[in-house]
């Protein structure tokens, strides 16, 4: 009887150990599986298709951007400046007398319809909207003016940097600024177009070169849309992926701590197709004053130097790859040395598509 009692106690102890221990190991295994899934998801999020292809860019602002004011000679022969000290460079005129203004043509037509009526401009300055009243100057019976220089769009050529799994892209690595005010353009919408390189002006000391492309702004050549213009580049969605990305092999992106001084490559299409060209990373500044100047690079590829002289306008956004990972994009060229330039960390560009 005593023997059976000991046996029962022993069975209870073994059962307890198996239950507790098995539960512990089951919990450990589930945590391991969860970590594996998280790691897999993180890896997927960090995979992108590198670019290097040229794209045509067309940006439209919300309303029209004020560049400055000027005096106007009226029909009485006197000079007037109706907008002086009322609007300033960087303002956006979004409406006139409650009529929405989308471009310069609409603004000119709306002013000419005023007659002797005052103009009440709806203006956005920074994040605030205000109404500004002024008296247009009549130049003749059919034409009036406000004495305001404006711009309503921007277009140009750049290079696409990457495409992620959600068809979101990043390009340029720097923002598009107005050439007169140097203000970052606040866009209403934008479009990406197909383009091809027609000619390359070789860069020389003191004179940056440039890529000249052929861009036909029609619906047939539309590749996608632009939704953001930031200091880190332009961002949006590509609809016709196959038309832009001949090679859709994804690669991993690198964080800043993985980047090192030394050899790397940049991808661009100066010879008609996307090729890798040798460069050298000479400096890494994780705390650079300007977000798009964290990497300093030097072109070492003899073939690229022969074709372009180094970095030229239009290359902005060219992917920089090191150790098989996308680490950043070319952003600027040194004015007095076209073989050298700046780049942005890909980590900073990716922040804009989260």
Phi/psi of residue 11, each to 5°? -65, -40
Domain ranges of the chain: 1-32, 47-59+153-353, 71-146
Which is the catalytic residue, given 91, 144, 152, 316? 316
CA 318 to the chain's CA centroid: 12
Burial label for 318, CB within 10 Å (0-12, 13-18, 19+), is buried
Residue 26 binned pLDDT confidence (cut-offs 50, 70, 90): very low
The pLDDT assigned to 239 comes to: 96
**CB of 230 within 8 A of CB of 173?**
no
- Tally of residues, the chain: 354
301 assigned to active site: yes
- Catalytic-role residue among 91, 144, 152, 301: 301
User: Which pLDDT band holds residue 39 (cuts at 50, 70, 90)?
Assistant: very low
The answer to whether the beta carbons of residues 133 and 82 sit under 8 Å apart is: no
Active site residue 177: no
Query: Considering the domain 71-146, what is its CATH architecture?
Result: Roll (2.30)
* Predicted confidence (pLDDT) per residue in 45-98, tens digit: 789 999 999 999 999 888 899 999 999 888 888 899 999 999 998 899 999 998
Are the CB atoms for 313 and 335 separated by under 8 Å?
no
Q: Is the pLDDT of residue 28 over 60?
A: no
Annotated active-site residue 174? The verdict is yes
* Higher-scoring residue by pLDDT: 44, 155: 155
The topology (CATH level 3) of 47-59+153-353 is Thrombin, subunit H (2.40.10)
Average pLDDT of 304-319? Answer: 94
Token pair listed for 27? 């919990």
Q: What is the pLDDT of residue 260?
A: 96
- What is the token pair recorded at 116? 């002797």
Residue from 91, 144, 152, 174 carrying the catalytic annotation: 174
Which range, 143-147, 195-199, 255-259, is most confident?
Answer: 255-259
The upper half-sphere exposure of residue 208, i.e. CA atoms within 13 Å in the direction of its Cβ, equals: 14
């Amino acid at each position: 009887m005593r023997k059976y009692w000991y046996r029962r106690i022993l069975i209870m102890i073994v059962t307890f150990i198996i239950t507790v221990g098995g539960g512990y190991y089951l919990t450990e295994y589930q945590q391991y599986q969860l970590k594996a899934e998280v790691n897999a998801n993180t890896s997927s999020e960090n995979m992108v298709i590198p670019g290097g292809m040229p794209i045509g860019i067309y940006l439209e602002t919300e309303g029209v951007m004020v560049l400055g004011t000027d005096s106007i000679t009226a029909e009485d022969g006197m000079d007037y400046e109706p907008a002086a000290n009322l609007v300033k460079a960087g303002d956006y005129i979004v409406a006139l007398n409650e009529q929405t203004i989308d471009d310069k043509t609409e603004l000119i037509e709306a002013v000419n319809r005023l007659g002797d009526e005052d103009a009440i401009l709806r203006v956005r300055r920074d994040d605030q909207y205000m109404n500004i009243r002024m008296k247009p100057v009549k130049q003749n019976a059919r034409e009036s003016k406000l004495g305001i220089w404006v711009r309503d769009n921007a277009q140009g050529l750049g290079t696409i940097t990457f495409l992620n799994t959600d068809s979101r892209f990043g390009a340029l690595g720097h923002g598009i600024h107005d050439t007169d005010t140097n203000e970052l353009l606040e866009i209403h919408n934008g479009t990406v177009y197909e383009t091809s390189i027609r000619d390359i002006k070789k860069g020389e000391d003191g004179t940056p070169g440039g890529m000249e492309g052929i861009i036909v702004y029609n619906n047939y050549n539309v590749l996608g849309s632009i939704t953001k213009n930031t200091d880190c580049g332009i961002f949006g969605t590509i609809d016709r992926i196959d038309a832009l990305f001949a090679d859709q092999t994804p690669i991993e992106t690198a964080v800043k701590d993985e980047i090192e001084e030394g050899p790397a490559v940049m991808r661009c299409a100066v010879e008609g197709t996307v090729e890798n060209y040798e460069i050298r990373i000479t400096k890494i500044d994780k705390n650079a004053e300007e977000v798009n100047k964290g990497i300093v690079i030097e072109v070492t590829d003899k073939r690229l130097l022969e074709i372009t002289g180094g970095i030229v306008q239009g290359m902005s956004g060219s992917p920089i790859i090191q150790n098989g990972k996308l680490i950043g994009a070319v952003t600027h060229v040194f004015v007095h040395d076209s073989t050298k330039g700046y780049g942005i960390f890909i980590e900073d560009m990716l922040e804009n598509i989260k």
